[in-house]
Structure 1
Amino acid sequence: MSIAAIAERRTQVRYFIIGFIFIVTSINYADRATFSIAGSDAARELGLSPIATGYILSAFAWAYALAQIPGGALLDRFGTKRIYAGAIAVWSVFTFLQGFAGFIAGLSAVTTLFALRFLVGLAEAPSFPGNARIVAAWFPSSERGTASAIFNSAQYFSLVAFAPLMGWVVHNHGWRAVFYVMGALGLLAALAFVRIIHDPARHPSINRAELDYIESGGGLVGLEQTDARRNTFQWSNLKQLLTHRMLLGVYLGQYCINVLTYFFATWFPIYLVKERGLNILEAGFAAAAPAMCGFIGGVLGGYGSDWLLKRTGSLTIARKTPLLIGMVLATLIIACVYIEQEWLVVTVMAIAFFGKGIASLGWAVISDVSPRQLAGLTGGVFNMFGNCAGIVTPIVIGYLVAASGSFDSALIFVGAHCLLTIFAYFVIVGPIRRLELQ
């Protein structure tokens, strides 16, 4: 092979970038789950009631949802690298400080933990909009489905990888140690982020061939340049994002998909114990099966979407087809109302979460449709709508279970949102295309 031919071969820096974002996002989700792992021992030592524990667990979701729009606006104003790296460092410090709950004179443990969990939620707000901006800048349209699926699938991988680690830390070193370990790990990740993440046009390892490939395929390689950030947050721009029919359909779809996510994250283990008679150990292993299936489905959905895009040239077909298949599979969760065998319930739940993984292309869609100047803000609005499900779903399911004495109505509630997702994308969204600001 000639020297000229070797020189023209594209580098593959974008794959290294998305691999690192996958690791950072896994740490992100692990930090959210620290109190879930440490909660039992912490409650026993600090004398926390179940109600107090519930408030502490809810603090993150409230702050995270409220801070999405400001977080996205900050990304657009100051750039991904500066805001995202700072966010990792700040949420890691607040994670670390939770290990000192009960030691601060004049503050109760409940107040301390609630405040610190709330601050973790605020600090993590720019993370997923930041991921979407990185994907929009580093990947052509034909690869965004896979790239977005990779970072989004970190939510499943994190449960499988970090839950056993954090459990081991709590068992051998006490509940406070898990906050120290995860906080320190996050600070290391922030330092690594500063060294690794750059705008494509300024990355020291990328060559012209890869840069041209990204840009010619629709990658926003200049997204982080100062002149591309002149049009920052304005109320008129936010109004466009909140009133555009296509985006409203995408927001509604993400909210509905996350109803399924938060059912598994909050009530599913309780369902297995109370409704299906499993013990806690059995429920723990059973809950891991849907998580793994969701991870596999997420990667397959992203890869399949990009394959369809290359075959058809249509973003609408490429993004909506996996979503339809995935949500049809996810509606099978309603069948658990009529199933008696425990093993079959877990199997059907795993299929449902596999379908949810296939359909989880919302972040790819946001990378496809966001106005160039407002990629961060659009992602923030999108993630705000999606995470409102984290506030609503646990509460509604609690009322449904309390009223009926069973989870049947709760499973129907979750399955109905899968159908509503299909309605959102196929009736409201319309053709998928990049929005241009008026």
Structure 2
Amino acid sequence: MVQTQKIGKSTSVAAQASKARVLIAVMLFVTVVINYMDRANLSIAMPAIADEMDLSKAQQGLLLSAFGWTYAALQIPGGWLVDRIPPRLLYPACLILWSVATAFMGVIGGFVALIALRLLVGVFEAPAYPINNRVATAWYPERERATVIGFYTSGQFIGLALLTPFLSWLQSVLSWHWVFIVTGTIGAIWGAVWYAFYREPRDSRANDAEIDLIRDGGGLVDLVDEQQPERPAVTRNDVATVLGRRKLWGIYLGQFCLTSTLWFFLTWFPTYLVEYRDMDYIKSGFLASLPFVAALVGVLFSGVFSDFLLRKGVSLGVARKGPIIVGLLLTVAMIGANFTDSTAMVIVFLSIAFFGNGLASITWSLVSALAPERLLGLTGGMFNFIGNLSSIATPIVIGLLVTDDSFAPGFVYMTVVTAVGIASYVLLVGRVERVRS
């Protein structure tokens, strides 16, 4: 009888709850589209920049990796900021600053200047994904969180699938300079929009029923409370917690391996199509968008399927880790590109691989599930720091491995890294439960 009353009450609350969190999901989605547009615009312009400036493969790898040096290095400070500055203030500041740096890449020429500006883009984008995770943790109950994370993560693939052909066309009609000017302008405008419309759950249009629905489902609606006392500084014990737990190292290493594939597509993929498959900018822009479409399908399916399994009573570990491990297994298909001369088959292999990457991309749901409540930002920062060391390693290592005649060593490297990622999730993560600080 008591159980029936609880079910009835829960159903009633859900029916009365407002849907303010839907707007938050859309805002996160648009922000991620812009975030990844500003990461990938250099890869689209790189063949033209390399031709104009006569850059070697090693120099191209260095320029493509410049974003990652500061982005990865500032993940932990970025996580510290996320734990202290509300998303309404921090996110628009970051958006506008990285967008200004992006726009100046189209105005100021020169190899060294491009590296310096790309380093600045990495500085200001560093807090972005820890902010996304914090917003998702505050706004969504556990049973909805993977779906929401999958939805806004899909923004990176939708944006790249739709905008890669457009930016390639823009470059062919005008010049590579306009790729950066246009994308930077869009980001600056969106920063103002975020400040105008984003609010925390209790300060938003969400009614009490929606607040209760989020809180009772495991959402931390009071995570950002301006009335709370100032939070203590990060201690050695805090750092020891996020660095000393096997479970957390499992997701850190797994994220490095997962994002290595993403960074291949964000850096070397357009160059591979233009220089190693002899395509023009328009055709390469279209074909480069197909793996991103496949990744979009993978990431949307992943979040929905993971939450479906959770609602059906499957353990949190299987529901969260299952899609990640299967996705990494599919990513191994990338090696097939070394065994065919058919451009169509290359796109098929790479689309399967990037579908797998999308399927595996709900890894932030494990941060939400495993991180100590008080150290969400620090854990997210460490997760993103180690994961995004791949943004440095992938462009540079591939640039050193490939030759003017063969890209095959690059695909071998990516396959080995993916295999390490599978082992990390299988052997290190173990039972999915929150780590105690």
Aligned to 1:29: 36
Aligned to 2:345: 344
The amino acid of 1:418's aligned partner reads: T
Aligned to 1:106: none
Aligned to 2:222: 222
- When structure 1 is superposed on structure 2, of 123-132 and 264-273 the one drifting more is 264-273
Q: Are 1:371 and 2:378 an aligned pair?
A: no
The amino acid of 1:136's aligned partner reads: T
Q: d(CA) in 2 for partners of 1:30 and 1:419?
A: 28
Shift in CA distance, 398/7, structure 1 to aligned 2, threshold 3 Å: closer
Q: Deviations over 1:124-147 (max 9, x none)?
A: 000011001011111111111111
Question: Aligned residues, how many?
Answer: 424
Q: Are 1:17 and 2:24 an aligned pair?
A: yes
CA offset at residue 279 of structure 1? 5.5
Aligned to 1:290: 291
Shift in CA distance, 277/86, structure 1 to aligned 2, threshold 3 Å: closer
CA offset at residue 111 of structure 1? 3.2
Q: d(CA) in 2 for partners of 1:123 and 1:326?
A: 30
Shift in CA distance, 329/157, structure 1 to aligned 2, threshold 3 Å: same
The amino acid of 1:14's aligned partner reads: R
Q: d(CA) in 1 for partners of 2:322 and 2:230?
A: 34
CA offset at residue 171 of structure 1? 4.5
Kindly report which structure 2 residues correspond to 1:252-331, keeping only aligned pairs within 5 A, or say none.
252-272=253-273, 281-331=282-332
Q: d(CA) in 2 for partners of 1:209 and 1:347?
A: 47
CA offset at residue 61 of structure 1? 1.3
Q: d(CA) in 1 for partners of 2:70 and 2:377?
A: 18
- When structure 1 is superposed on structure 2, of 265-274 and 147-156 the one drifting more is 265-274
Q: Deviations over 1:93-133 (max 9, x none)?
A: 2223333315xxxxxx3333222211111000000110010
Determine which of 67, 70, 76 is the counterpart of 1:63: 70
Determine which of 86, 96, 100 is the counterpart of 2:103: 96
Aligned to 1:429: 429
Q: d(CA) in 1 for partners of 2:339 and 2:418?
A: 18
- When structure 1 is superposed on structure 2, of 296-305 and 277-286 the one drifting more is 277-286
Shift in CA distance, 235/314, structure 1 to aligned 2, threshold 3 Å: same
Aligned to 2:167: 166
Q: d(CA) in 2 for partners of 1:245 and 1:190?
A: 37
Q: Are 1:244 and 2:245 an aligned pair?
A: yes
The amino acid of 1:10's aligned partner reads: A
Q: Deviations over 1:173-203 (max 9, x none)?
A: 5444443333332222111111222111211
- Identity within the alignment, %: 37
Q: Deviations over 1:39-60 (max 9, x none)?
A: 5556677x46446555433321
Report if the CA contact (8 A) 2:165-2:282 is conserved.
no
The amino acid of 2:85's aligned partner reads: F
Shift in CA distance, 49/406, structure 1 to aligned 2, threshold 3 Å: closer
Instruction: Normalising by structure 2, report the TM-score.
Output: 0.89
Consecutive unaligned residues of structure 1, counting only runs of 5 or more, are 103-108
Q: d(CA) in 2 for partners of 1:246 and 1:334?
A: 29
Q: Are 1:74 and 2:75 an aligned pair?
A: no
Aligned to 1:128: 129
The amino acid of 2:213's aligned partner reads: Y
Report if the CA contact (8 A) 1:228-1:373 is conserved.
no
- Specify the SS of the correspondent of 2:117: helix
The amino acid of 1:32's aligned partner reads: R
Aligned to 2:410: 410
Q: d(CA) in 2 for partners of 1:34 and 1:270?
A: 12
Report if the CA contact (8 A) 2:162-2:289 is conserved.
no
CA offset at residue 361 of structure 1? 1.5
Q: d(CA) in 1 for partners of 2:336 and 2:48?
A: 36
Kindly report which structure 2 residues correspond to 1:352-371, keeping only aligned pairs within 5 A, or say none.
352-371=353-372
CA offset at residue 282 of structure 1? 4.1
CA offset at residue 432 of structure 1? 1.1
CA offset at residue 407 of structure 1? 3.8
- After superposition, the CA RMSD in angstroms is 2.6
The amino acid of 2:219's aligned partner reads: G
Consecutive unaligned residues of structure 2, counting only runs of 5 or more, are 1-11
Shift in CA distance, 96/334, structure 1 to aligned 2, threshold 3 Å: closer
Q: d(CA) in 2 for partners of 1:52 and 1:406?
A: 17
Kindly report which structure 2 residues correspond to 1:59-208, keeping only aligned pairs within 5 A, or say none.
59-102=66-109, 109-203=110-204, 205-208=205-208
The amino acid of 1:335's aligned partner reads: G
Instruction: Normalising by structure 1, report the TM-score.
Output: 0.88
CA offset at residue 7 of structure 1? 11
- Specify the SS of the correspondent of 2:106: helix
Report if the CA contact (8 A) 1:84-1:127 is conserved.
yes
